[in-house]
Amino acid sequence: MELGGLYDPRVASSPPRPSDSFVLRFSELTNASPTRTRDLVLRGLDVLLSSFFLLVSLPVIVPIALVALLTSGRPLFYRGERIGRRGEVFEMLKFRTLRREAEARLGPYLGEELVRRTRAETTAIGAWLRATQLDEIPQLWNVVRGDMSLVGPRPIRPRFFEELAEELPAYWQRLVVRPGLTGFAQIRRGYETSMAEKLAHDLEWIADRSVRLYLRTLASTAWRVLGQFLRGLLGRG
């Protein structure tokens, strides 16, 4: 299945890819971490559930795609480089909610400053897609492909990962698992807490990563997303 037909690589200039030494350094660390049997179970759940969610989302995906193409043109998808398991770089998919070339303008920013500047770059239906979190649907394909998991630390851009790995010595441990569509840190404390606080919750997930916690995180996320979706429909998001 090819999603790249509606993506124009000239639209966004991604930050530089991490150096070979960066990837090698963290690959060696993560490869030394033991693989658990439960990781295979979680991967099976990822494939099963994300495939199911993609199928049931088709009646929503098609209208969103048509409206997005009519109101803001191509590319339909945003693709951003993110650091994945073992330090490998992958392209994370979303429905495009920002104007063309916004990635180049927003690249240097993170946290609250990024949130503020993102508002000014939003497309006609971009704010609604983000408010309802429907822009995240294409990431289910990242889960099917094995780039991501349904639950895990949220994926981060290569340039910021290198910086945070220098500031927070334990940050590399996020690479032991696949990044997630939702995360333990997000359901615990939200998106606007410090990186150190988020890391503490991510490490708790990595240490446990049980099926029970996986399902509980998905259930909590579903409840939160349903609330955000309804507020977005009502224009209160």
- If you write DSSP's letter for every residue of the chain in order, what string do you get? ---GGG--TTS--PPPPPPHHHHHHHHHHHHTSPPPHHHHHHHHHHHHHHHHHHHHHHHHHHHHHHHHHHHH-S--EEEEEEE-GGG-EEEEEEE--B-TTHHHHHTT--THHHHHHHHTTB-TTHHHHHHHTGGGTTHHHHHHHTS-EEESSPP--HHHHHHHHHHSTTGGGGGGS--EEE-HHHHHH-SSS-HHHHHHHHHHHHHH--HHHHHHHHHHHHHHHHHHHHHHHTT--
| Pairing outcome for strands 77-83 and 89-95 | antiparallel
Asked whether the predicted pLDDT for residue 63 surpasses 80, the reply is yes
User: What is the structure's pLDDT at 65?
Assistant: 93
Q: Give the pLDDT mean for 192-217.
A: 88
Higher local confidence (pLDDT), 158 or 61: 61
Cα 25 to chain center, whole Å? 23
Q: Is 82 buried (19+), middle (13-18) or exposed (0-12) by CB count in 10 A?
A: buried
User: What is the structure's pLDDT at 236?
Assistant: 56
CA angle 28, 31, 36 (to 5 degrees): 160
User: What is the structure's pLDDT at 7?
Assistant: 33
Q: Give the pLDDT mean for 108-112.
A: 71
Asked whether the predicted pLDDT for residue 10 surpasses 50, the reply is no
Global pTM value: 0.79
Q: Give the pLDDT mean for 40-46.
A: 96
User: What is the structure's pLDDT at 1?
Assistant: 37
User: What is the structure's pLDDT at 226?
Assistant: 80
Q: Give the pLDDT mean for 113-126.
A: 80
Phi-psi domain of 190 (left: phi exceeds 0; alpha: psi -120 through 50; beta: other): left
